A and B are shown apart, each in its own frame.
Chain A
Amino acid sequence: MSILSMQSSRKDVVLMIAFAAAVLAMPIWLEPFGAAYPDLMQKFAIFGIFAIGFNILFGLTGYLSFGHAAFLGVGSYTAVWMFKLLSMNIIPALIFGTLIAGLFAVLIGFISLRRSGIYFSILTLAFAQMSYNMAYSVLTPITNGETGLQLAQDDPRIFDAAAEGSGLPLPELFGVTMQDFDGLAGFYICGILLIIAFYISLRIFRSPFGMKLVAIKSNQNRMGYTGFNTRPYLLVAFVISGMYAGLAGSLMAVTDPLAGAERMQWTASGEVVLMTILGGVGTLIGPLLGAGLIKYFENIFSAYNEQILHDIFSFLPEFLENFMVFIVNPFVGEGWHLTLGALFMVIVIFLPGGIMEGVNRLIAWVKRDRSGSSGDGKAKPQASEG
């Protein structure tokens, strides 16, 4: 199956509506999974945006950036500065967070895209680590070093300094703070931005521009002999994905108004690579699933401890109970990374196309099964986007 299926636009409308409904209904259908609390759902949406954007670069052009966390960090710092300087309204924070990250991406992309393959990855990694270290050292006046950038009572806030109260002000959107409606206000702001981000990504995937990006991934030399200057295409893709990261970073600051340099560390860059590969590189929905799965594991599995495990296995005879706890314990709590690592290995080995490959195989299997039994091959499961 080709990465870009030339789907009818009606199918895309259905996909878009289904996606929007699924995002908006998250508080309902995540309830049985124990994941319906706003803090986690915000993370799903924020990292979903990050992964969707990363996929526009990595999934379409094949250029693997190992430094995208730098843009996440820039977005966060910019957003907090907007809160400090302009207003607690989140709109300037989101707009400037995205734009400044985009400017950074122009600079880093312009230099890094002079090389391809592993050299490109190393260059982006170097830039991100440089930003990380500078945030701790020379840029301390801007980043507030190890303490992290925080709001303060005496921030200038030229647009709404008058609103003085006790304690620190909260980010708000025309009077609604992120904590309103039991925290659902924050989630819905993130969720709506996720839907918009997904829509833009869908349009890029279906556009001639997106097709050219995949052609670059497929055979960059041929693109040259075919009459395309590939450098600006790659730079635009890089900047778009940098802006997605900047938006995700500013949303982090919106939901929790402080910014620290650890957001730019290489592990954070690696995480988005894992999300994308786990979900399915170059697929529309895959990176989102990967982001959701990793954040879910991080929150759910890390919450388990030895006591909870003892409770779970308490129906077993005592020596078996102790044995099971001994086996399972390294995979939960602090050790949830082990579970993630094992899952990642299984998926990469058996489903190199990520979760989406599994989903597509499943759909194909169901299709074959159904047309075999009823003789009606017309049944078309929706969202078979590969």
Chain B
Amino acid sequence: MSESENIVLDVTGVQKTFGGLQALSNINLKVKEGETHAIIGPNGAGKSTLLNVCIGRLEPDEGSVMFGDVMLTGLTPYQINQAGVARVFQTPEIFPDLTLLQNVMIPALAKRDGEFKFNPFKSINEEKALIDEAQHILEDLGLADQMNNVSASMSRGDKRRLELAMCLIQHPKLLLLDEPTAGMSRHDTNRTIELLKRIKSRGMTKVIIEHDMHVVFSLADRISVLAQGAIIAGGTPDEVRGNPKVQEAYLGGAHL
């Protein structure tokens, strides 16, 4: 646990409706610095919608999202990223026409150069430091041997790890992960858990959506349970595990 009580992500009173469907109703969520905060809940509970509101893909109907002292609501996705928020998507969002190395170098360039830089006469081969960093992070994720392949041909699990590498190279203050291990083998899942534990020690704050309870209980410091667009419970893993309301809504009474 982080001794610091700084709130990194502060979601206040967020509402979102799609047509007649109340996707999010009055969501309040506080994530502390350095914490790994898991959001669990049945399919359609609004977990991904909540992340979409955080990164500017969706505008909330009401309420606001604060990141430190930056108001994220109303900013564009690139401004939110430049503020220090990165996201791994449920369906991997990578650059399929580029090699793995280039896929990782692009976000590194965004981190270094900002939202726009015109440097047409600089050769990419001169970016030695950037290439080294990208290679290093690919090694970390076990993708170094495919470095010069085009990413479109990778397996889904590998794409997911690549996307994680693309986020990690930016050293974001806040990392949002939408089912980071879905589609991965057990071996790769464990490897990803190890990696996420390692970056936790570097003080990166994470919000993670996950269905795999093994992953959730291995990583989470706190858990919020979302059902039908509302947070019905929250607390430490042990508190959530024992909460009858959670078992009712999420697991239909089965034991975690």
Contacts and interface: CB of A to CB of B under 8 A. Distances in A.
Interface of A: 1-4, 6-9, 200, 203-204, 206-212, 214-215, 217-219, 221-230, 232-233, 236
Given A2-B97, A9-B125, A224-B77, A207 B120 contact: yes
6 contacts: A203-B123, A207-B121, A211-B98, A225-B78, A229-B116, A230-B78
A2 B57 CA distance: 29
B174 to A, nearest CB: 13
Interface in B82-125: 82, 86-87, 89, 93-99, 101-102, 105-107, 109-111, 113-125
Residue among A7, A206, A228, A233 having the largest count of chain B Cβ atoms under 10 Å: A228
Contacts of A211: 98, 102, 105-106, 109, 124
Nearest to B121: A203
Contacts of A232: 116
Interface in B143-170: 150, 166, 170
Main secondary structure, interface of A, reads helix
Nearest to B89: A225
Contacts, number: 119
A8 B94 CA distance: 25
B95 A222 contact: yes
Contacts of A204: 120
Given A2-B150, A4-B102, A215-B98, A206 B124 contact: yes
A208 B119 CA distance: 7
Nearest to A56: B120
A217 B97 contact: yes
B120 A219 contact: no
A228 B122 CA distance: 18
A203 B121 CA distance: 6
A209 B118 contact: yes
Contacts of B77: 224-225
B94 A219 contact: yes
What is the size category of the interface that chain B forms with chain A?
35 or more
A209 B97 contact: no
Contact of B113 (A3, A208, A219, A223): A208
Contacts of B107: 226-227
Interface centre among A209, A214, A226 (most CB of B within 10 A): A226
Contacts of B89: 225
B81 interface: yes
Contacts of B110: 226-228
A225 B81 contact: yes
A212 B123 contact: no
Given A227-B81, A227-B107, A229-B115, A206 B123 contact: yes
Nearest to B87: A225
Given A2-B99, A218-B96, A226 B106 contact: yes
Given A209-B117, A224-B76, 6 more contacts: A1-B150, A206-B124, A208-B113, A208-B117, A211-B102, A215-B95
A4 B117 CA distance: 19
B32 to A, nearest CB: 24
Contact of A209 (B87, B120, B150): B120
Contact of A224 (B78, B102, B113, B121): B78
B150 A203 contact: no
B140 interface: no
Given A222-B94, A222-B95, A226-B81, A8 B125 contact: yes
B38 interface: no
A227 B93 contact: no
Given A207-B123, A222-B93, A4 B98 contact: yes
Contacts of B139: none
Contacts of A227: 78, 81-82, 107, 110-111, 114-115, 170
Contacts of A206: 123-125
Nearest to B84: A227
